[in-house]
Amino acid sequence: MKTFFLGFNYWPRISNIKMWSRFEIEEIRRDFELMSGLGTNTIRAFILDEDCADQQGNLRQECKSKIEIFLEEANRHSIKVLLTLIVGHMSGKNWSIPWDSENTIYDKVDQTKRFIEDVVKSFKQNNAILGWILTNEISLVRIPQNDNIFLRWLRELYNYIKRIDDQHLISVGDNVSPFSHNFLRPENVKGIVDYASPHIYQYDQDPIRHSIRYFMILEYDRSAGLPVILEEFGFPTAVYSEESHARFIGLILRGALVYGADGALIWCFSDFPREDDEPYLWEPHELTFGIIRQDGSEKMAAKVIKEFSQKTKDIDLSSYKVPRRDSAILVPSWFYRNFQFVPEQDRRWDFARVLNQAFAFARLSNIQVTFVREDDQNLSDYKLLIIPSVTRLLTTTWRKLLKIVENGTSVYFSTYTLTHMSATHLWEELFGVMPNNPAGSRGVKIPERVRLLENNLVLDLGQTNMYTYSFKEKDAKVIGIDENSNIGVAFLAKRGKGNVILSTVPLELISSNYETMKENRISFYNYLAKIANIEQRFPMQNYGVEIQYLEGKGDSLLAVLNHTWEDKEYGLNVGVKEDMDACQGVVRAKSGCLIRV
C-alpha cells in the first residue's frame, strides 16, 4: 500500500539544532509520541556535521551511537526518516563542516564521500531509513561558479551513494523548483535525484495567486518527469496568526495530495524556547515555525494535521493517478538551459512569476493544465498549448507548432518586443499577420485598455513602459483591439484542424506585476478553452476556488480548494460517495475539502 508521506522537518524542541551534542533520548521520545498522535509517518532529520564528524570526514563513534538510538526510537513509533547528511546551512546560519573549514563545498568531494560512506554503510539496513538527503540548502552556503560545477558535484555524490545503497531515496535537499537557481531546476537535476524537493516559502498580496503558486510548483516539478515530495513549507506564527497558519497548512496538504505529490513535510515540528542559541539570537522568527509551541502544547495546525492524517491514512495512492491534462504551458528552453547572448536568462525569476500567472489563469478558468518543454515529443497530445508573455523560443520550435496546429491543437502565444530581435520568423505562415513596426523603432506602446470583441469586455491594463509589435492582418481575424485606437492587438487564425491565437499584449507578465489579480482577466482564458474545445469533468466554481482530483478505477479523489480568505459555496455535477471533510457544499476560507466521487 502506497501512503502519503506526512510529517515534519525535525529538531527536538529543547535541544534544537544542537541535538547531537545535547542528546536526550527522553526528549526525542516525547516528541515522537506527540508526532504519532498527530498521525505523522515521516520526518526529515539532520546530522549537524560539526558535532558528528572529524576533520578527515569520519563519522564520530559517539555520534554514530546516538544516531542508532535515534533511528531505533523512530522505528518504534513507526516513523520513517529521511536523513540529511551535510548541514552547512540551517535557519539563518552557515555551520562549520569539519573537513571543509572554508565551506568551499564543491572541491571537497573525496572528504565528503568519506563521511557519506560512513553514514550510509552504518544505517542503510536500519528499518527507519526512508532515504538520504544530501544537504540542507547547500546553495546558501556556497553558490557554485557555474551550473556545471554543481551538477558534476551532485552527480558524483548521487552515484556514489547509489553504489553503496540502491534501495533508498536520494534527494539534494534544496529547492528544486522553477523559483530556484538554474542548477536546481528539475530539468537539470533529473536523473541525479530520486525526487524533486521543493522548499516553498512564497509571498504574494493576492491570496489566490499565492497558494496557487504552491501547486504550480508541484505541477511544474512533476511535469519534468520527477516524483515530488514537498520537502519544506510553513510560516512562523510570530508573523502570522495561528488560525491562518493552520488553514494554510490544511489547504496545502490537500492540494499536494491531489496534485500528485508523494508527500509533504512541514517546517517544522516545534517552536524552540532557547532564545540565546544561535541562530535564534538574531533570527527570532525561526523560533515559531512549529506545530507545537515552546511549552509543548499544540497549535491549531496540529489539529488540522491530525484530521488530514485520519482522513487519508487508509488511502492507497497506488490505486489513483494524476488524470491526463488536456492543456499545457510551454516552457522556453532558455528558462533552464544556458545560451549565449540571451538576455531573458537574466530575468528567469520574473518569468517564473509569469508561468505562475498563466497557471493561475488556467486553473481559475477550470483548465486542466501542466507544463511541457520545447524538446518534448508529446506537444501534439494537448488540445491547448499556452505560450505566455514569451519573447523567444528555439527557431526550430515554430515549425513544430505549425504542424501540431494543423493536426488539431490550438496554440495561444502572447508576446512583446525586445530591441533588435523577433520572437519568430513565421508571423504570416503561422499567425496570419504581417509586421508593421516602423524600421528602427522599439515598437508601439502597449495599450492601457483592451477590448475583447468576443464578449465586448474591456481589460484595464494600466500604464506600462513596455513596447510591443504592430501587425496587419493577412488572413487572421482581429479578436481584440486597443480601446483608444481600435487597432488590432489580438488575432485568431485557422491552420488546418487547429487555431492559433496571437496577443501582442503580454497579459500574464503585466498581471504578474500587479499586487492583486482582476477577476475579469480569466475571461480571456475562458475564451481560449472555448476555442480549443476543452470540456472539463467538473464544473467551474466561484472565483478563487478550484477543483483538482486523482483518478481511480472505481472512484476519484477530489479536492475543492479555496484560495480566498472568505467561505465559498461549491457545486458538483457527480454523485458524492464520501464527503470526507463534511463540507456539505461550503468550503471554508483558505481551506480544502476532500471528497470521493
- Average pLDDT (78-88) is 97
Lowest average pLDDT, out of 398-402, 452-456, 469-473, 510-514, goes to 452-456
| φ, ψ for residue 164, nearest 5 deg | -85, -40
- Average pLDDT (260-273) is 97
DSSP 429-488: IIISEEE-PPTT---EEPPSEEEETTTTEEEE----S-EE--EEESS-EEEEEETTT--E
pLDDT tens-digit series, residues 121-149? 999 999 999 999 999 999 999 999 999 99
Grid cell in block for residue 306: 491530525
Adjacent-strand bridge partners of 131: 82, 169
Radius of gyration over every alpha carbon of the chain, rounded to an integer in angstroms: 25
pLDDT tens-digit series, residues 318-356? 999 999 999 999 999 999 999 999 999 999 999 999 999
Torsion, CA 390, CA 391, CA 394, CA 395, rounded to 10: 130
Name the 3-class secondary structure at 545.
Answer: strand
**Rounded to whole angstroms, how far apart are CA atoms 594 and 582?**
9
Name the 3-class secondary structure at 577.
Answer: coil
**Rounded to whole angstroms, how far apart are CA atoms 64 and 572?**
54
Closest by alpha carbon to 173, among 263, 85, 102, 257? 85
Residue 285 CA neighbour count, 13 Å, CB half: 8
pLDDT band at 419 (very low <50, low <70, confident <90, very high): confident
> Cis omega (within 30 of 0) on the bond before 268?
yes
- Sequence-distant (6+) residues with CB within 8 A of 549 are 258, 323, 537, 538, 556, 557, 558, 559, 597
Q: Is the dihedral of CA 152, 353, 343, 377 positive or negative?
A: positive
Residue 474: pLDDT over 90: yes
- Average pLDDT (37-41) is 97
**Rounded to whole angstroms, how far apart are CA atoms 524 and 458?**
11
Residue 528: pLDDT over 90: yes
Q: How much of the chain, in percent, has pLDDT values that exceed 70?
A: 100
DSSP, res 317: G
pLDDT of res. 502: 98
Grid cell in block for residue 79: 516513523
pLDDT of res. 1: 83
Q: Is the dihedral of CA 381, 252, 248, 230 positive or negative?
A: negative
Q: Is the dihedral of CA 397, 444, 328, 182 positive or negative?
A: positive
pLDDT band at 408 (very low <50, low <70, confident <90, very high): very high
Grid cell in block for residue 49: 556535521
Asked if residue 161 lies in contact with residue 120, where contact means CB atoms within 8 angstroms, the answer is yes
**Rounded to whole angstroms, how far apart are CA atoms 293 and 295?**
5
pLDDT band at 565 (very low <50, low <70, confident <90, very high): very high
Asked if residue 99 lies in contact with residue 55, where contact means CB atoms within 8 angstroms, the answer is yes
Domains of the chain: 5-321 (3.20.20.80), 327-531 (3.40.50.880), 545-596 (2.60.40)
pLDDT of res. 140: 94
pLDDT band at 420 (very low <50, low <70, confident <90, very high): confident
- Count of residues for the chain? 597
Asked if residue 31 lies in contact with residue 70, where contact means CB atoms within 8 angstroms, the answer is no
- Sequence-distant (6+) residues with CB within 8 A of 407 are 380, 496, 497, 498
Residue 551: pLDDT over 90: yes
**Rounded to whole angstroms, how far apart are CA atoms 285 and 294?**
13
**Rounded to whole angstroms, how far apart are CA atoms 97 and 34?**
32
Helix H or strand E segment including 109:
helix 109-123
pLDDT of res. 219: 98
Residue 535: pLDDT over 90: no
- Average pLDDT (61-76) is 98
pLDDT of res. 539: 86
pLDDT of res. 589: 97
Residue 537: pLDDT over 90: no
Helix ranges restricted to H, 224-323: 242-258, 300-312
Adjacent-strand bridge partners of 459: 450
**Which pTM was predicted?**
0.97
Rounded to the nearest integer, the mean pLDDT of the chain is 96
Asked if residue 392 lies in contact with residue 334, where contact means CB atoms within 8 angstroms, the answer is yes
CA distances from 371 to 257, 374, 511, 531 (A): 19, 10, 20, 20
